[in-house]
Amino acid sequence: MAITGTDIKYACKILSEGGLVAIPTETVYGLAGNALNPEAVARIFEVKNRPSFDPLIVHVSNVQEARRYSTEFPEKAELLASHFWPGPLTLLLPKNPEIPDIVTSGMPDVAIRVPDNKLTLELLTALPFPLVAPSANPFGYISPTTAQHVNDQLGDKIDYILDGGAARVGLESTIVGFPANQPTIYRLGGLSVDEIEKLTGHLEIMPHSSSNPKAPGMLKSHYAPAKPFRLESAVKDNVTDGNNGYLLFCDSIGSVPIENQRILAPDGNMKTAAKNLFKYMRELDALNVAQIIAELVPDEGLGRAINDRLRRAASDSQD
C-alpha cells in the first residue's frame, strides 16, 4: 500500500524526481506526474494500463500558467476560465512545443485545467512544472473519489497519495474546445452544459470515440465496474432476481434487499447524485451480486454527465 498523507514537500520531492503521486481534486483523484518529463508521463500510462492514444489533462495553478503552455487562448476560453477556474472545467487549446507529444497522444491540442482543491493548488504553486493527472485508477475502471479508493487499486504501484478528503464534485471535469472558434464540449462533466452556455451561447457536443479520441475521456467504453453493468429503462418494474445490485436515482425498491441498493440522491439533488455516483458503483461492485442494474437519472443539468457515465459503464455489457 502507498503512503498516504498531506505532506506537500514530500509530494514535490517525489514528483521532481520523476515519481508519481495521487492528488485530490474537486472532481476525482488524479495520478500525477511531471507533465514536462516524458518518462514520468510514460509511467502513468504503464501504471494505469492506459492506451497511448488516449491523451492526458495538464493541471496548472492559474490561468497565466495555462497561457504559457498554449499558443492560442481564444476570447471565449478566457471568459470561461475567468468564471470557472479553479473548477471542474478543462479547456482544449493549441499546445506549446514545451508540452511533450506523449501528453497529447501526438495531437496538436492540449487539455488544461486549474483544479479546485487547496492541497493540490498548493502543490502546483510549489512546483516549477505542471502536472498531468488522469484519474488514479486502472484504465476503464470506476474513477476514485477518495484516497482509499486509490490505495485499493494502485497502492502497490505509486509512490505517495496526497489525501485531500472526498472529492466534492465526484464527476470528471467538463472539456471544452474551440474548433473554428465554435465552443464545443468534448466530454460532459462536473460543470453543466447550461452553466457554460450562459456565457458562450450554443455549444456543440462531440460524440464518443472508440479509438483516437481528440480529448481525454472520450472513449465509448469507460468508468465500468468489474461486474456486468446494465441499464434498464423501467428498473422498478423489472425486478426478477434478488441477487442483483441496484443503482437508483432517488427511490428504493421495496422487493429488493436494502443492502443490495444504492440511492444516488434521496434528496433528488443532482449534485448529491454526482458526488455519490462512483462511490456507490464501487460499493455495489464489491457486493456478492451477479450483476449491477442501474437506472438513468433525469437528463438535465449534471444529470446529462451522470447519464453519460452510466451509458459508458454499460457499453461493454450491452453492445
Instruction: Report whether 143 belongs to an annotated binding site.
Output: yes
Instruction: Report whether 290 belongs to an annotated binding site.
Output: no
111/31 Cα distance (integer angstroms): 16
Instruction: Report whether 59 belongs to an annotated binding site.
Output: yes
Instruction: Report whether 113 belongs to an annotated binding site.
Output: yes
Instruction: Report whether 230 belongs to an annotated binding site.
Output: no
DSSP letters, 57-115, are EEE-SSHHHHHHTBS---HHHHHHHHHH-SSSEEEEEEBPTTS-HHHHTT-SEEEEE--
Instruction: Report whether 42 belongs to an annotated binding site.
Output: no
Instruction: Report whether 160 belongs to an annotated binding site.
Output: no
Instruction: Report whether 208 belongs to an annotated binding site.
Output: no
Instruction: Report whether 252 belongs to an annotated binding site.
Output: no
2/155 Cα distance (integer angstroms): 5
Contacts (Cβ under 8 Å, ≥6 apart) of 3: 159, 160, 161
Instruction: Report whether 10 belongs to an annotated binding site.
Output: no
In this structure, are residues 23 and 131 in contact, taking their beta carbons and an 8 Å threshold? yes
In this structure, are residues 79 and 163 in contact, taking their beta carbons and an 8 Å threshold? no
The beta strands (E) that lie in the chain are given as 4-5, 21-23, 30-34, 57-59, 89-94, 109-113, 131-132, 160-162, 174-177, 184-187, 204-205, 229-231, 245-248, 261-263, 292-294
Contacts (Cβ under 8 Å, ≥6 apart) of 275: 145, 166, 167, 168, 169, 170
119/155 Cα distance (integer angstroms): 20
Q: What are phi and psi of 8, to 5 degrees?
A: -65, -45
How many other CB atoms are found less than 10 A from the CB of residue 49?
Answer: 10
List binding-site positions. Answer: 27, 50, 59, 113, 133, 135, 143, 173, 187, 223
List binding-site positions for ATP. Answer: 50, 59, 135, 143, 187, 223
List binding-site positions for L-threonine. Answer: 27, 113, 133, 173
